[in-house]
Amino acid sequence: MTDQTPPPASPAAAAPLTPAEDNQWASFAHLGGILWILPPLIIWLVFKDRGTHTDREGKESVNFQIAVTIGHIAIQIINAVLTAVTFGFWMLIGWILPLALWILTIVFCIQGFNAAKNGQSYRYPVNLRLIK
């Protein structure tokens, strides 16, 4: 007797987001940027095909987090060089630059959250827009 196994079920396409859910996930993509790049990236990858607003705002948030990450790396390099050149004196004031970038990131993420939850698009003032 041959035992026939049924073919695996194909995954069902996820239902499109309602407008309220679309605004909710789009706003969470911006707010998740406070925790770095992973929350907006996960939200964008999971919901990009289910809501146009989430797709647009998720990409914007991920692109901003890429720019912030590049900024933090550049600041660390600049701080290391200036600390070496000034024989450690720069270390006393070099902590201000990463702190300022972190505060700006929080402010811009909250502004993006407020705009996206109201159904509006938010464009970060400084963004690379590498993901199109």
For the chain, what are the domain ranges?
Answer: 19-116
Residue 127 confidence (pLDDT): 83
Residue among 106, 90, 102, 121 nearest 27 (CA): 121
Cα angle vertex 70, ends 123, 110, to 5°?
35
Contact status, residue 24 vs residue 58, Cβ threshold 8 Å:
no
Q: How confident is the model at residue 101 (pLDDT cuts 50, 70, 90)?
A: very high
Question: What pTM does this model have?
Answer: 0.81
Structure tokens at 98: 């990463």
Q: How confident is the model at residue 10 (pLDDT cuts 50, 70, 90)?
A: low
pLDDT surpassing 70 at residue 1: no
Contact status, residue 58 vs residue 40, Cβ threshold 8 Å:
yes
User: Using one digit for the tens of pLDDT, what is the confidence trace for 57-81?
Assistant: 999 999 999 999 999 999 999 999 9
Residues in the chain: 132
Rounded CA separation 21/117 (Å)? 10
Report the pLDDT averaged over residues 13-31: 85
Q: For residue 82, which phi and psi values (nearest 5 degrees)?
A: -70, -30
